[in-house]
Amino acid sequence: MKINNTYQNHLIRVAVRTTISAPIFVLGWYLVESSGGELYHSLQVVAGMGCFIGVAAMVGPSLAGLLSLPWARMFYRPGASDRPASRAIYRVAEIRRSQGRYDEAMREYEKISEQFPHELTPWIEMMDIVDRYYDDRSRVLSIFRKGMAVLTEGRDREELKEKSKTILTGLKQRDHISPII
C-alpha cells in the first residue's frame, strides 16, 4: 500500500539521518558544556552551536516530512495526481479542432488519454470528433471500450456510457435516413 510505503520511507530517512547526526550532536553538546561560560571560549561555543545547526539541517526536513504526512492526507486526495492540474492541457487539441485539423486534434487527445488515462474528457472529445467528422461507428465503439477499460470512477464510467449511447443512437439514426437527392 502506497501510504504505508510513504511512512516507511520517511521513518527510514529519519532513522538513518538521526544515526549519522547523533555523534555530531554529542560533539556539539560537549563543546558547549565544556566552555564553562567563559568569554574566551566563545569560539568553542560557536563551534558547538554549528554542530547543532548541522544536526537540525540533517534531521529536520525528514522529520518535518514525517510529521506532515497526516496533515497532507487531509488536503490531498490520493490519486489526485492522476488528473491534470488545469484545462490548459486541452488547449492544443481544442485549437486543432477549431482549425478543422481533426486528425491532429485526435492525436493530441490520444496523448492526453495516455498521460492521464483516468481522465474522462479526452475519451468524450475523441468520441465526439469521430462522431461529428468521421461518422465511424466502429471507431466510436473502440474509443468507448478503451475508455471503459481505464476509467475507475463510477460517475465517469456512467457519463461515458451516456455519451456513447447518445452518439451511437445518432449514428444509427443517420444510417437509416436516406439522402435527399
pLDDT digits (tens, 9 = 90+) for 1-37: 344 567 788 788 889 999 999 999 999 989 888 887 6
Q: pLDDT at position 77, please?
A: 54
Give the per-residue pLDDT at 102. 94
**With b meaning 16 or more CB within 10 Å and e meaning fewer, what string describes 78-93?**
eeeeeeeeeeebbebb
CATH 3.40.640.10 fits 82-176, yes or no: no
What are the distances in angstroms from CA 123 to CA 99, 101, 119? 20, 18, 8
What's the mean pLDDT when you consider all of the chain? 82
What pLDDT shows up at residue 95?
93
Q: Has residue 179 got a pLDDT over 80?
A: no
**Dihedral, 121, 126, 127, 132 alpha carbons, nearest 10:** 120
At residue 122 the predicted structure's pLDDT band, cuts being 50, 70 and 90, is very high
pLDDT at 39: 62
The pLDDT value given to residue 52: 92
User: Given this model, what pLDDT does residue 177 score?
Assistant: 43
pLDDT at 45: 84
Higher pLDDT, 84 or 141: 141
Band of residue 167 on the pLDDT scale cut at 50, 70, 90: confident
What is residue 80's DSSP assignment?
G
Domain boundaries, the chain: 2-78, 82-176
Q: Which percentage of the chain shows pLDDT scores above 70?
A: 80
DSSP conformation class of 35: T
- Copy the grid coordinates of residue 30: 560537549
Cβ(6)–Cβ(69) below 8 Å: yes
Residue 176's pLDDT band (boundaries 50, 70, 90)? Answer: very low
